[in-house]
Amino acid sequence: MRPAPSLLATALLAHSTLAWRLPHPFTDEPEDDTPLPLVIWHGLGDTYNSEGIQDVGLLADEIHPGTFAYAIAVGADANADRSATFFGNVTEQLQFVCDTLAAHPILSTAPAIDAIGFSQGGQFLRGYVERCNKPPIRSLITFGSQHNGISEFKTCGSTDYLCKTAMALLKFNTWSNFVQSRLVPAQYYRDLTNYDSYLQSSNFLADINNERPVKNEQYKKNIASLANFVMYLFEDDTTVIPKQTSWFTEVNGTEITPLRKQTQYKEDWLGLRQLDEKGGLRFRSITGEHMQITVDVLKEAMSDFLGPMNKTFAPEPKVVAGLWQEEL
User: Helix, strand, coil % (nearest 5) of the chain?
Assistant: 40, 15, 45
Determine the Cα angle at 17 with ends 141 and 135, to 5°.
40
DSSP 247: G
DSSP string, 99-125: HHHHH-TTGGGSS-EEEEEETHHHHHH
Beta strand residue intervals within the chain, DSSP E: 38-41, 69-71, 113-118, 137-143, 228-234, 250-252, 255-257, 281-286, 319-320, 323-324
Q: What CA–CA distance (Å, rounded) separates 87 from 278?
A: 38
CA distance between the termini of the chain: 25
**What values do phi and psi take at 96, rounded to 5?**
-60, -45
Which residue type sits at 51?
E
Known catalytic membership, residue 99: no
Cis before residue 242, ω within 30 degrees of 0? yes
Q: What CA–CA distance (Å, rounded) separates 114 from 310?
A: 13
Cα distances (Å, whole numbers) of residue 74 to 49, 88, 89, 205: 12, 10, 11, 19
CB-count exposure of residue 125 (10 Å: 0-12, 13-18, 19+): buried
Known catalytic membership, residue 158: no
Known catalytic membership, residue 151: no
Q: 59 near 3, Cβ under 8 Å? A: no
**Exactly one of 50, 83, 119, 139 is catalytic; which is it?**
119
Sign of CA dihedral 286, 304, 96, 20: positive
**Exactly one of 207, 237, 268, 276 is catalytic; which is it?**
237
Q: What CA–CA distance (Å, rounded) separates 210 from 206?
A: 6
**Exactly one of 42, 64, 147, 290 is catalytic; which is it?**
290
Catalytically active residues are 119, 237, 290
